[in-house]
Amino acid sequence: MRRWLVVIAIAIVLLSALGVSEEATRFPQLSAPSPRNPGPGGLTKFVSILESKGYLVIEPSTLKRALEDLSSYHPSASAMIVTGFSSSDYRYVEELKRWVAKGGLLVVMDEFSDAKPVLKTFGVDMAATVVGVASASCVGNATITLDVYSFLRGGRELCTISSSPVAVEVRVGNGSVIAIGDSSLAINYLSSYPRIFHRNTAFLLKMLSHRHVVAVYFPTSLESFTLGTARAADIAWSLLRFSSKLLTSTPLATALTVFFVVSVSALLACSRITGRRRRSSLEREIYEAKRELNTVLEALRSEGREVGGES
């Protein structure tokens, strides 16, 4: 029963995405915000920007490794950008706090509850999470655009949406912590929207202005799930954008669209619930899903040609 509830919930979200603006549908949600991920949800383009600005960029696989790598540099010249935490990271929170107090800059970009224990250590609470694209007004007359984001409490407000903070800063000893309630602030896909991408990355670069070494961290232990399901998710988003143009054309187009959404929802839900399946089994499921979705795509294209011919 629980599995079908998850399937229905995901289907509703995907169908709802067909009715919102094109800008909103272009924020992929399942691709890991990792510096090693070249996909739409990754941070490789942001890392390239950092390197082009002269920053020495480190891409640690664990929080422990990040702290070890940064120990070779003075904290006041270093920064750490974190887009996710694993449960094994929590044991190093006190060490992280000591590094910040010595002058380090910690930037946490996350909307999920995994960041809660860490942020709470620094006096920041995560409040309600909102789904939907929105612009936030920031200090210095800056503007950033967020997707799925969390409101924050505690510290000095840096960015707000409707007077509620989505980015805050907390001073800790000689250093500081900046919390931003969205991990997709500088993902690769935003480069398709140059103005938004420039504004968001400019905001982050301003935070890093006096630093020389930047560790961009996302747990490799989380990439196995997010990067694997991202392949199916990327197909889903591409089909959604295409089929949204045909959704109201004919009953057949509508039926095919609903069929594909439910199929993808079931795949994603099963991947989430049975995440410990053997790799060979998961690859076989993804292959079958791709073949089925390609069939749906060809049917939608044929339907599109028929609709065009009738007009």
Average pLDDT over residues 257-283: 49
Q: What is the pLDDT of residue 157?
A: 98
Sheet of strand 213-217, all strands in order from the earlier edge strand to the far edge: 56-58, 213-217, 78-82, 105-109, 175-180, 164-172, 156-161, 134-138, 142-146
Does the pLDDT value for residue 26 go beyond 60? Answer: no
pLDDT, position 209:
83
The rounded distance, in Å, linking the Cα atoms of 15 and 299 is 19
Q: What is the DSSP letter of 92?
A: G
Q: How confident is the model at residue 275 (pLDDT cuts 50, 70, 90)?
A: very low
Sorting pLDDT into bands at 50, 70 and 90, what band is 130? confident
- The chain-wide mean pLDDT, for the chain, equals 77
Residue pair 198/142 in contact by the 8 Å Cβ criterion: no
Q: 182-210 pLDDT, tens per residue?
A: 999 999 999 999 999 999 999 999 999 88
pLDDT of amino acid 283: 46
* pLDDT (tens digit per residue) in 39-61: 999 999 999 999 999 999 999 99
Q: How far apart are the first and last CA of the chain?
A: 45
CATH 3.40.50 domain span(s) along the chain = 44-217
Percent of the chain predicted with pLDDT > 90:
56
Q: How far apart are CA 260 and CA 244, in angstroms?
A: 12
Dist. CA 122–CA 117, nearest whole Å: 9
User: Options 1.10.3470, 3.30.70, 3.40.50, 1.10.287; which CATH number does 44-217 get?
Assistant: 3.40.50
Check residue 69 and give its pLDDT: 97
